[in-house]
Amino acid sequence: MRSQLLLPLLVLAVTGTVAVRESSAEDLVQIYREAQQNDPSLAAARSVWAATQERVPQARAGLLPSVSAAGSVNANEGRFKTYTDPTAVSGNVFAASNFSISAAQPLFRAQNVVAFSQAQRLVEQADYTLAAAQQDLIIRVTVTYFDVLLAEVNVTLVETQKAAVSEQLAQAKRNFEVGVATITDTNEAQARYDSIVAQEIIARNDLDNRRTLLRTIIGRMPRELKKLGPGFEPTLPEPNVLDPWIERALVDNLSVKIAGYNYDVATLEIDRNRAAHLPTVDLVAGASHSLASGSSGGEANSQGRSTQIGLAFNFPIYQGGFVNSRVREAIALQDTARQNLEAARRGAVANAQVGFSGVNSAAASVTAFEQALRSAQTALESNRLGLEVGVRTNLDVLNVTQALFVVQRDLAQSYFNYLISLLRLKASVGALTEQDLEDINRRLRG
Q: Is residue 289 part of a domain?
A: no
Which band of pLDDT confidence, cut at 50, 70 and 90, is reported for residue 298? Answer: very low
Indicate the burial class of 226 (C-beta count within 10 angstroms; 0-12, 13-18, 19 or more).
buried
Q: Is residue 97 part of a domain?
A: no
Asked if residue 35 lies in contact with residue 141, where contact means CB atoms within 8 angstroms, the answer is: yes
Q: Is residue 238 part of a domain?
A: yes
Asked if residue 84 lies in contact with residue 96, where contact means CB atoms within 8 angstroms, the answer is: no
Q: Is residue 360 part of a domain?
A: yes
Cα 337 to its chain centre, rounded Å, is: 21
pLDDT at 213 over 50: yes
Neighbours of 88 (CB within 10 A): 9
Residue 130 CA to residue 136 CA, distance in Å, equals: 10
Q: Is residue 313 part of a domain?
A: no
Which band of pLDDT confidence, cut at 50, 70 and 90, is reported for residue 8? Answer: very low
pLDDT by residue (tens digit) across 234-280? 899 999 999 999 999 999 999 999 999 999 999 999 999 999 999 99
The mean pLDDT of the chain is 87
pLDDT by residue (tens digit) across 90-105? 667 778 889 999 999 9
Q: Which of 78-92, 193-207, 208-222, 408-422 has the lowest mean pLDDT?
A: 78-92
pLDDT by residue (tens digit) across 139-174? 999 999 999 999 998 898 888 778 877 877 887 788
Domain count, the chain: 1
Residue 226 CA to residue 441 CA, distance in Å, equals: 9
* Residue 430 dihedral angles phi and psi, to the nearest 5°: 70, 25
Cis peptide before 279 (omega within 30 of 0): no
Query: What CATH number does the domain containing 21 carry?
Result: 1.20.1600.10
Q: Is residue 201 part of a domain?
A: yes
Closest CA to 259 of 425, 355, 129, 119: 129
Closest CA to 429 of 163, 239, 249, 198: 249
pLDDT at 368 over 80: yes
The whole-number pLDDT of residue 395 equals 67
The whole-number pLDDT of residue 113 equals 96
Which band of pLDDT confidence, cut at 50, 70 and 90, is reported for residue 416? Answer: very high
Q: Is residue 399 part of a domain?
A: yes
pLDDT at 356 over 60: yes
Indicate the burial class of 144 (C-beta count within 10 angstroms; 0-12, 13-18, 19 or more).
buried
Residue 229 CA to residue 141 CA, distance in Å, equals: 19
Which residues touch 176 (CB under 8 Å, ≥6 apart)? 182, 183, 185, 186
Residues pairing with 68 in the sheet: 102
Q: What 3-state class would DSSP assign to 292?
A: strand
The whole-number pLDDT of residue 22 equals 45
* Residue 214 dihedral angles phi and psi, to the nearest 5°: -65, -35
Residue 226 CA to residue 25 CA, distance in Å, equals: 6
Which band of pLDDT confidence, cut at 50, 70 and 90, is reported for residue 19? Answer: very low
Residue range of the domain that includes 152: 2-65+109-280+321-445
